[in-house]
Structure 1
């Protein structure tokens, strides 16, 4: 296991593919870890340097005391890429990972040359909703949310498979501190103005059955960035990289090819 010690947090990361290839960085969703990308990576073009990391408070990364600010999550990504000496990456962010992607692109254009904003938005939900979720986790644990989260995460087809129990286990095993901390970061974020100033190649991806960031919400954010493109993955929920990994990888591969990002 590889860790980057960034002072207040230790981030778990993994590098696959070609160590000298064009870098593609993946940031995961709330309540998940880097395993959500496992089924996508084998279908991506050869010659890429594939970098995944667990957000603070998630997976094997450390969980500092909550709440977290979105600025801290963006700084984590920025410092990790500096630590790994990464420039000109394509940053693939899903859900809260997509918010981090937007903020990082605004802050560090030297690090990011292309964005994939997946199942995300410039603003997700209302602060009161996130505060209620924080209270639930505090009093009853993540388990109390798990069934409702599965409905948002996955298509009906996926929810009917035995595999869904593995993803439910992943959710409930996350740190309650980390989960609550990231809920607070989402609650405090509205990126409509900064994201509308971005001018870099951007692909938006939505799932037709996404109960957390419906396609219209994703499209509204993608449309803020001139020249962006938008793709809908049918029969996929909030985690299309799990629901439909081959189709997800095909969209990603086509976008990388279009912008000339290859080994």
Structure 2
């Protein structure tokens, strides 16, 4: 048992080193004074100042945040509806097809998804005149399409683990379907909604392939800009930008974990009383 415990600890340590050592190196080199990324020139905040003076990067970051926020919000709404239909409506005609449509974006290569959406937008523009060209709208539609699949899976999993007696008790007390959803079901699946929103936000903010297919001139997202810069050589500004993104994501994850723990404690107290 002691050898097994030591082996598990060593494996976990090596796994964490493999995952986080590159991130730590990136953060350290974001404070590098030298213009050459691989040459250490001392500690400095120079590149953070250069980053905030770079209007191209700032505009791309704001555009990506805007797209990610809208896409994640729409994905939560649509994904929650899909998850409720699959978990609460029992068997109905077309359920298998709907389930396949929802899970398809999870396993579909991003190249295929981006190309198919591009062809769809071109065909719609020729037939209906909308969308007129590619831009923010087409990126939001594309990101919402594949992000809602993740939300639907998370919500469906959460709903399958809920205690049905709480909803049945509310219905026995005269709660209407709308009141039942907003006052009982929605608070119970709130952790899943937060997790789904954060996951969708991260996927949208990180997407490069699909956005490259459905974006147009003047609508360069942050991943597209970073990729174009990295192809010419890693810039210290990119390290500074990545460090800020890591910090923001880490704060978001910590906040979500704390909220989920709080919700779990409240649920346990309610069940005990």
Q: Settle same-fold status: TM greater than 0.5.
A: no
Larger helix share, 1 or 2: 2
The structure whose RCO (Cα within 8 Å, separation 6+) is larger is 2
Larger strand share, 1 or 2: 1
Give the TM-score normalised by structure 1.
0.22
Larger Rg belongs to: 2
